[in-house]
Amino acid sequence: MLCSRIRTALSARLDGEALPPGLTARRLDDHLAGCQDCRRWDARARALDAALGSACAPEGDVPPPAGGPGSAEALLARLRPGRRAG
């Protein structure tokens, strides 16, 4: 297994993306267990990811209001012409 392929998959895993075909999480972990270079690479990628993540989500960031399925329906009903209630 090529380290470059493993790293591509590791990067995808970090981003929450699907692993490349033919690669599984177990395979990645197996490779990491036996490849110090990739372990280091993974650690660095994680650190970078964490740093970027905290930069993108500043403290005090307010989560979007929880809109249930009802709110989208109400919006659609408002946008749709005709059929007035009453």
Positions touching Zn ion (CB under 5 A) are 3, 35, 38
State which residue, 35 or 45, has the beta carbon closest to Zn ion: 35
CB of 15 to Zn ion, least distance (A): 19
Report the b/e string of 11-49 with b at 16+ CB within 10 A. Answer: eebeeeeeeeeebeeeebeebbeeeeebeebbeebeeee
User: Which C-beta is closer to Zn ion: that of 34 or that of 70?
Assistant: 34
Q: Which is nearer to Zn ion, 2 or 57 (CB)?
A: 2
